[in-house]
């Protein structure tokens, strides 16, 4: 593993991570997909360039992405709260189950190989890309299930898969809520808060899972690389409110299609890595 990088390479890597944070922060506020859907593949390719084994690269990318989501979710959540688009009653209903699912996902990373994480990310990302590209949002009911058990089961699954993918709540929460006829801006705002509930327990699980793993890069806490977090997180935090403003000012339909194409290609690359 090559830690002795020349200055131009280091500057290029830092610039790439800054761009990743910028793009991820805007997307977190704009489309509610969460910056992790961009951060995970970007970090995976950076670590691959540095000759880290795919297994370690996959876990580091997912865990570090979750860590960057914490400040981004806080920033996006505050911006949406000022606009009154967070459904507090749904947070109370789904919140504990989201936390449980995310913690289970983080702990499972100890036994899931890197290929497994990439399979989860790539497969779900393709489904998300197809969903985003479809002109008409899939609607399966006019409201959420009346059963608390059914709601909490949905929330556990969202938390579990999101944690294993290294993404915030928006990527899965927004299309799920939209399928139950939630207003899109309210779904995006509530998903921003869900992202924090996913990221914190997910990070804790990945820190524990990677605590004694050999071959991690310097400045790593478990599977979380603090150097990458310190570069990406501040930019994501600053750009998330800008994405929220764009979400309320633009018709995102064409942006969603463009991002769906990007996401589909990225998912295929992850699956064939």
Say whether pLDDT at 76 is over 70. Answer: yes
Return contacts of 13-18, CB within 8 angstroms, 24+ apart.
Answer: 13/46, 13/49, 14/231, 16/42, 16/46, 17/42, 17/43, 17/46, 17/228, 17/231, 17/232, 18/231, 18/232, 18/235
Separation CA 244–CA 131 (nearest Å) = 21
Q: Which helix (H) or strand (E) holds 225?
A: strand 224-225
**Contact at 8 Å (CB) between 169 and 195?**
yes
Averaged pLDDT, 161-182: 84
**Contact at 8 Å (CB) between 203 and 67?**
yes
Separation CA 34–CA 73 (nearest Å) = 8
Averaged pLDDT, 145-173: 89
pLDDT for position 251: 67
More confident residue, 204 or 237: 204
Averaged pLDDT, 131-152: 84
**Over the chain, what is the mean pLDDT?**
84
pLDDT for position 33: 62
Among candidate residues 36, 164, 154, 178, the one with its CA nearest the CA of residue 97:
154
Bridge partners, residue 225, by sequence? 220
More confident residue, 101 or 263: 101
Separation CA 38–CA 254 (nearest Å) = 18
pLDDT for position 80: 82
Say whether pLDDT at 74 is over 90. Answer: no
Q: For the ranges 31-40, 76-85, 91-100, 182-191, which has the lowest average pLDDT?
A: 31-40
Say whether pLDDT at 155 is over 90. Answer: yes
Say whether pLDDT at 256 is over 90. Answer: no
pLDDT bin (cut points 50, 70, 90) of residue 98 is very high
pLDDT tens readout for residues 6-65: 677 678 778 878 888 888 778 766 765 667 887 888 888 888 877 788 888 899 999 999
Separation CA 129–CA 262 (nearest Å) = 8
**Contact at 8 Å (CB) between 47 and 57?**
yes
The model's pTM is 0.84
pLDDT for position 205: 95
């Amino acid at each position: 593993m090559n830690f002795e990088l020349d200055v131009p390479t280091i500057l290029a890597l830092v610039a790439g991570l800054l761009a990743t944070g910028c793009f991820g922060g805007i997307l977190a506020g704009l489309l509610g997909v969460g910056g992790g859907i961009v951060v995970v593949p970007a970090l995976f390719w950076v670590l691959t360039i540095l000759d880290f084994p795919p297994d370690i690269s996959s876990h580091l990318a997912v865990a570090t992405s979750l860590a960057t989501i914490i400040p981004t979710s806080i920033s996006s959540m505050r911006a949406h709260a000022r606009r009154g688009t967070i459904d507090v009653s749904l947070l109370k209903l789904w919140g504990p189950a989201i936390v449980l699912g995310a913690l289970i996902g983080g702990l499972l990373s100890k036994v899931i190989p890197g290929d497994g994480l990439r399979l989860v990310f790539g497969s779900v990302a393709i489904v998300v890309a197809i969903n985003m590209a479809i002109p008409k949002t899939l609607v399966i009911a006019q409201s959420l299930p009346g059963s608390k058990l059914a709601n909490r089961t949905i929330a556990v699954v969202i938390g579990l898969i999101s944690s294993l993918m290294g993404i915030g709540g928006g990527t899965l929460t927004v299309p799920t809520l939209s399928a139950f006829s939630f207003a899109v801006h309210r779904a995006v705002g509530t998903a921003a808060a869900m992202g924090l509930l996913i990221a914190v327990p997910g990070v804790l699980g990945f820190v524990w899972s990677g605590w004694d793993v050999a071959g991690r890069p310097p400045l790593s806490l478990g599977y979380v690389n603090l150097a990458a977090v310190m570069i990406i997180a501040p930019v994501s935090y600053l750009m998330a409110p800008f994405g929220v403003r764009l979400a309320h000012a633009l018709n995102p339909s064409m942006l969603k299609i463009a991002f769906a194409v990007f996401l589909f290609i990225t998912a295929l690359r992850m699956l064939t890595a």
